[in-house]
Amino acid sequence: MDAFKTFLLFVVTAVAEIVGCYLPYLWLKQGRSAWLLLPAAASLALFAWLLTLHPTAAGRVYAAYGGVYVGVALMWLMLVDKVRPTTTDWIGVAVSLAGMAIIMFGPRSDS
């Protein structure tokens, strides 16, 4: 899988996880309908399935995914929560993405 496809898959995976967690948040913290738990469960199931699509060891995928998740979560902060990230937030994203790239694309002798 090439780097762009891997990154895009991580982004879609992160959105599925965030939606799966955000919907129960709306129910628990904002008094929205408990029916939101159904699409939340489906979104979390999608998230788990998407993680299986990577052609490398699960532990490596989970570790690298975390870096992309941080970036997608900050985009969620901006677009959904309408909160402007700080400079240090963006620096944290850059460090996380650098770590993700090292984990996923660094040289290794095993698969």
Q: Give the structural domain span for 81.
A: 3-105
Structurally, how many domains does the chain consist of?
1
Q: Where does the pLDDT of residue 28 fall: very low under 50, low under 70, confident under 90, or very high at 90 and above?
A: very high
Classify residue 47: in a domain, yes or no: yes
Classify residue 44: in a domain, yes or no: yes
Using CA atoms, how far residue 95 sits from 64, 65, 70, 106, in Å, is 12, 13, 10, 16
User: Whole-model pTM?
Assistant: 0.83
Classify residue 111: in a domain, yes or no: no
**Tell me, what amino acid is at 14?**
A
pLDDT for 61: 80
- Looking at the predicted structure, is the pLDDT value of residue 73 above 70? yes
Classify residue 110: in a domain, yes or no: no
Q: What is the mean pLDDT of the chain?
A: 90
Tell the residue number behind the tokens 């799966």, with chain if given: 20
CA distance 20 to 35: 13
Classify residue 79: in a domain, yes or no: yes
